[in-house]
Structure 1
Amino acid sequence: MVATSHYADAELSTLRAPAGSAAALYDVLGDPSICGFEVTRAVDQPCDRLLKTIERFLKRCAREDLVLLYVSCHGLLDARGQLYFAAADTHKDDLLSTAMSSTWLRNCLGACDANRQVLILDCCFSGAYVRGVMGPREVPVIAKFATASRGRAVLTASRATEYSLEGEPVPGKVQPSVYTRHLIDGIRTGEADRDGDGVIAVADAHEYVERRLREEDVDQHPALLLYESGNKLELAHCRPRGALPPPSPWPVVAGRWRLLRRTWVRAALATAVIATLTALGLMLFALTRPDSGPGREGGDTTPSPLMVSGESVVFSPDGRVLAATHPGRADSLGLTNNDSIRLSNPRTGKAVRTLDSDDHDPVALAFSPDGRTLASAGWDGRVLLWDPANGRIIRTMSGHSQVNEVAFSPDGRLLASVGDNREVRLWDPRTGKLVSSIVAHAAGVSSVAFSPDGALLATSADTLLYEGDTSVRLWNPATGTRVRTLSGLEEGIQRLAFSPDGRTLAGASWDGSVHVWNTATGKQAEAIDADDHLPGAIAFSPDGRVLAGGGFDGTVSLWDPATGRALRTLTGHQGAVNSVAFSADGALLATGSDDRTVRVWNPDTGKLLRTL
C-alpha cells in the first residue's frame, strides 16, 4: 500500500485522503476473516526509497501469490500526457527523476513472478495508466472468465483527464477518499458481492463503487481493465446472502465415525466414476475434433492450441486468410512486448504462417485491396508492410510514437496511419515514402477509415488524450482539406466504419451507442442503443444490411443499420471484443477478444463455427 499525503514541493498541496485510505484499507485487507492479505505499507516515502520498496516487494512474490498494489497520491501528467505518481520529494518540474512513472511501474509488475495481480490507482488522472497498456480504450467490466489460476486487473479511480475526489473534510477525522471509502464499505459489509456467492471478485468491487458514485451523483468515473482471468480474481470473502449461521461442530464429530466406515465404499465408487468419465471424455474429444469426419467444416467450439489475441482481426480480400494478432510472452497485465501476427485458414482453423518482428507489438492490421500486402500498426510507432505469402517484411514506415490504426485506400495507392499525435500520415505503400500528413485533431487520433470510393477519409479524436475534442471529421485525402466536421457528441468515438455504398458512416462511441451519419449531408440518424454493451469495435457486412459491434462485455451485437433494430446477439467470448470483421462474401464474421481467442461465426444464423 503506497500512500503519500505530504510533499516537499510547495506546488503540490497536502492531501487528507491517502493517510485515511491507507489506515482504513489496511484493516480490511489484513483482516483474515475478510481478505487475509499480508500487508506492507509505504507511507510518505521519498522517490528512491519508494521505488526500492515496491521493487523488493514484488521480487519476493511467488508464482502462486495474489499480489495487490494500491497507490494513493497526487497523479501528475507531463507534457506528453504520461502519468507519474508523486512521492514525498517529487518536484513537478523534475518528474523523470523525482516521481514514479507509470512506465516504470508496468515494467516492475511485468518482472514479478506472481500470476495474479491487482493494481488499484486512487489518484487524479489515474485512467491515463491505461494508455501504455491498451491505447485508446478505457475498459469497463467485462464478462466472467473460466478460471482464476491467473489474471491481471487494473482499477482506476478516475478517467485520464479527471480528478480523484477526496470528499468533504470531517473535523477530527482522517477519512479515505471518495473512491476508496466505497471500496472499503463494499468489501467490509459484503454489499459488493453482487451475485451472493460469498466471494467479492475484482469486477464485483468495481461495479459496487461505480454504482455508489452514480447514486451520489459524483462526477468521477472509475474504470476497470481486465486481462486473462482478471475478472475472477478474489479480493475478499463474505457470508453468502441468505446463508444460515455456521452449524454446531458436535454433529460433525458425532458423524465422523459413520463417515470413516463408509470411506472405502466412497473410494471404490469414486474410482469407478473417474474411470467412466475419463473414457467418455476421450470419446467425446475424438467425436468433436474438427478433422474427425470427412468434409467437416464447422461446429468446433473447443479452443485449439493456436491462441490469438483480439487486438485486431482482418480477412484477406479473397477470404482465404484470417490475420490476427498473436500474444507472445505476457507482461504483468497479460499483454506482450513481442506480439506476432498469426495467419490462419478461417474455414478450417489451420495455421498458415506466423509473422514476427522484435519489439513491434502489433495492435491493428489491414490487408491491401489486392491481398498481396498486410500492414500492421505497432505500439513501437512503426507501420510494417508484410508479404503474407512468405512472411517477410517488405518495408517499414516510422513517424508516430504510437500507432492506433491503419487503413488502405480502395485503390491501394495510399496507406493511412493514426496514433497518439495529431496527424494522419498518408504513405505510398509501394515505396514507403510519406506522401502527406493532415493535422486532424487537437490531440491523438483513435480511428481512421477510407470511404469505398476513396474520396473521403474519416477520423475520430482520441478522447483519452484530450476530452475537449469529441468530433469526427471527414477529409479529402487528395488535398488534405477538411470536408465536414461531425460534432455535438458528448463522448468520443472509438472506431469508425463506412457502409459499402459510402453513404453512411458509423462510429462506436464511449456513450454506449453507435452513431450513424449521412456522409453527404453530415446529418446524424438516431443513435443505435447498444444496451450497455459499450461497443469498442464495428464493421458493416459487404451488402450493408448488417452492422456488427463488439462489446467490452464479451458480446457481439448485430443490427439493421437502416432501422437500428437489433438482429441478434452473439455470446461466448469471455473478454472484451476489440475487433470484428466480415469476409468479402459475408458468409463469415470474425471477432477478436481479450480472452486470447478469435471466433468465427455464421452471421446469418449466429452459429459459432470455430474458435481459434
Structure 2
Amino acid sequence: MSEGHDFSLRITPAGAGVDQAEVEQLAIQLRRDLLASGIPGVTRVVEGQAPDGTRSIELIATGIDFLVTGLSAAASVVQITDYVQRWREAHPRRRRVVVSVEAGATSGGSRVSGTAGRRTALLVANAAYRDPGLSRLRSPVSDIRALAEVLGEPGIGAFDVETLTDADESVLRRRVAALFADRQPDDVLLLHFSCHGLKDQRGRLYLAAADTELGSLAATGLPASFVSEQMSESASRSVLLVLDCCYSGAFARDTPVRADRTVYLGEEFRGGGSGRTVLTASSATEYAFEGGQLTSYEAEPSVFTEALVHGLRTGGADLDHDGEITVDELFDYVARRVREAGVGQVPRKWSFETTGALVVARSVRPATLPEEVRADLGSDRPVLRLEAVRALAELLAGGREGYRRAAREALVRLRDDDDSLQVRRAAAAALGDVAPPRPPAPAVQPPAIETPAIETPAVETFVMETPVVEASAIETSATETPVIRTPAVEAPRVEAPPRPLQVQQPLPSARAARVPVMKFRRLLVVGVVGLVVAVSVTIAIVSNQRQSSDSASSGGPGLGQMLTSVTLSHNGSIEYAGLSPDGRWAVTLDAPKDRAAAQVAGLWDASSGLKVATFDTDRGVVFSPDGSAVAVAHYEGKREVTTVNGEQMGVLIGGTTTVSLRKTSGGEVVASFTDHKGSAIMAFSPDSKTVATAGTLASEKSFASPIRLWDVSTGKQLATLTGHENGIQSMRFSKDGNVLVTGAAGGVTKVWDVAAGEATATLDNAWFPVWVSPDGKTFADTRPGDKDGFELRRVPDGKRLALVTKAGTFAGFTPGSEAYATGNDGNVRLFDLATRKARVNLTARVEGDPVFSPDGKLIAAVTKEGAPALFDAVTGQGLTQLTGHGGTVTDLTFAADGQTLYTIGTDKTVRKWSVTR
C-alpha cells in the first residue's frame, strides 16, 4: 500500500425505495468502472464500519450499507471525489445511491465546511424544572430536535451532535467540560442552550438546570462564568456559543445592585482564549419574579432557534452566495428574521479574538461564481474563457470551500468539453498535473431525427412559408412621424357589466422580459387533444445518446441528460408553476376555488424543494432577472365572475391592487406599492435595480394611468411616467435599461427614455403586447385585430420599419438581435431581422413562445404534448426530447452560462438538464 493513498468508498441508499440488491449492483458497477479507468486496486470488503484511520471529505450519508475500498498511487482524494461525482451524474439510476469518498489519515484530505478538524455540537434543552418557582419553558425540546437534525446533516452542518434534555446541573457541568476538553486548534465546537437564564442580585448569570433551585443559584445553577472558563481553556480556535434564553431577574424588584433589565453577556464571556463567538436571542430580561414565582409567560416556539434552523436548512443564511454559511452571515440572517417577527427581541453577537470566518455550515444552495467569471465562461471568445480559467484557478486555491467546489466543477467542464484545445489544456493545468480518471466513453451515434411512419393528415402538414415581400405584406415608411394624440380606435366590445372592469390576466411568466403573459389555461387542455395530436403530428425527436445499459454511459453528461430532479413539497394540485431566470427559485399557483378568488402562491427554493413563503396573488408574480426579488400583485376590492367571449373570468371591480416586493431568500416583504387601478403589471430592469409598476384597468372612459418606477433596494419611488390614458397591458425594458416600451388598452404604445422620464414616441393604433430587441434598437407591436401580423419599429422615435403580415404572431427576438421568431398554431419560424426573409422553421409544433440559449444556438420549447424539447437554432432540427416530467411543463429557462436548462411543471418537479453539445 502506498503511503497517503488509501481510499474508502461508501455506497448507501439515497432513499427508502432503494433495496440492498440495487445497492450491491451499483457498487459492483462502480468497482468495474474504476478498474477500467486505470485505478490499480479496488477490492470489496465486508460490510461494517469504515476502516480505521479514514477521514471523510464528503460526508454525504450517515449509515454504511456497503463498502468498496480502493488503493491508488496515482490519484489524489480530490480527483477520486471528482470522478465519483461525475460517475453518479452520468446516469439517473446511479443517483439512487450516494457515494462518500474517504481518505486515509495521511492523505491530506480536508473536511467539509472549511476546516480539517472535528466538528462537535452540544445542544441543551431544559423545559421542565423541579423548583415550583420556575415555570415550564416554551417548547425547547422540539426546537433543539430540529436544530440537531440540520446541524447533523452531512451536507449542511456535518457536526457530531449530542443533545441533553432536562438534565441536572451536575450532568450539564460534566458534558460542557467534556465538550471543550482534549481539543485541537482546528476543531469546531458549538454549544447551544435553550433554557431559563437567571440573574442573581450581583448581576451574575446562571443557566437553569432541571434541579436548579431559585433560593440557591450559586450551588444549583450552571454559572455562565464556568462555561466561559471552559471555552477559554479549550485549545479550539473556533467556538460558537448560542444562548436562546429568556433571562430573568431572580431577585427582589427593589434590589439596587445591578437590578436593571440587561444581562451583561459581553462581560460574562470575556476572558482568555481566542476564536470565541457568542450569539444570543436577547440581552434584556424579558420577565421577572414576583413573590418567588415567575410572572405569567406565554409558551411559544422560539423564533430565534426557528430562524437558525430555517437559515441553515434552506441555505437562506448564505448571504454572499459563496456556498458556505459563516457565523456572521447566520447572525445577520437570524437577527433580521427575529426583528421582522415583531417579538420584541433584539439578538446580539460578541466576538472575542476571532481570526478568519467561522464556517457554521455548508449551504444547500451551490455557490454562485462571480458575475465577471460567469460572463467570461459564457463567451464565444477563447481568450475570455482563458481569463475565466485564471480566475477559477485563483478561486480553487482560495479559502472558501463553496467557491472551490464551484471552480473545480467549472474547470472540469472546460477541460472535458471546451472546443478550444488551449482552454482545455489551461483547465487541466489548473486542476493539477494528474488528470482525474474518467470512464471510457462509448461510441456516440450522431443525433437522428426520424420521421414517424404514421401518415400525417394533409391539413396538419406544415410547409414553411416566407411572408410575401410586397407592398401589401411589408410596407416600409420613409416619412411616417409618430403621432401624439388619443387614438381614434374604438375599444373592442366585451360582454360585461357597463362599469369599468379589470379582467384577471393569466400569471406572467417568470421570464417576464421574454414572455409577457403565460397562457397557462391553454397548457392545461392537453389531455385527449394532446393524445390525438401526438399520433397525427408529433415529429419523433430521438435522443443523442441512447443508453442500452448503465455500463455504456459516458463520463460526462450529454445533451438533454437530466442532471437533477427536485420535488416541491406541495400538497394538492397546482395550476401553474414558474421559474426565476436563474433557475434558483420557483413559484406555484394553486387552482382557485372560483375565478373571482385570489390564488394561493408558494415561493420555493428550487434547489432543495423547500417552501420559502406563501402569499395570495391575482395571477401576478414576476421575478427579477438576478432572482433576488419577486414582485407580487394582490387585489383588494370587490370580485365577481362574468363571462367574456364564452369563458368564465374573474372580474375585479372598483378596487386597487398592491404590489409587494419580496426577497426570494426569505420571502419577506421589503416594500409595498399601492393604488394600482384594477390589477397590476410589473417589469424589472435587466440589472434588477428598478421595477416598473402600473394598473391594468381597461375602461371605455379615459383616465390617467401612470407608470411608476421604484428602487428595488430601498423601495423608494424614482419617477412617474405620465401620459397613458388607459390600463397598461404590456411593458418591456431594453437590455441596457435605458428604454421602456409600454402598450395600453385602446391601442396606444409609448417609448420612454427612462433616465429623462419622458416619452420619445407615442403611437396610436399600435396594439399590445410589445417586445424590445436585446440591442435596444428595435421593438415590435401587434396589429389591432390582426392575429397574423405585427409591426417592427425603431427605437427611440417609433418609426415603422416594416409591417409584416401572414407570418403569424410575434414570438421574440434572438439574443443577438439578428433575427426574430414567429408562431402560427405551434409552427415556429425564424426570420432575418434586416431582410425579414425566413431562415428556418422548427421541425415540431410547440406550445407558447420559444426560449433561446444565451448564445442563440439552441431553442428550448414545450411541445404540443406538454413536454420540453431542444432544437438547433441554425437548422431548426429537433435535437432531443427531455423526458421525465409527469405533467405539463409550464416554464423553462436557460442558465446564464448556457450549459444547463431548468424546467418546471404541474408534476411539482424542478429539473435540471445538460445542454452541452
- TM-score normalised by the chain length of structure 2: 0.27
* Structure showing greater Rg: 2
- TM-score normalised by the chain length of structure 1: 0.39
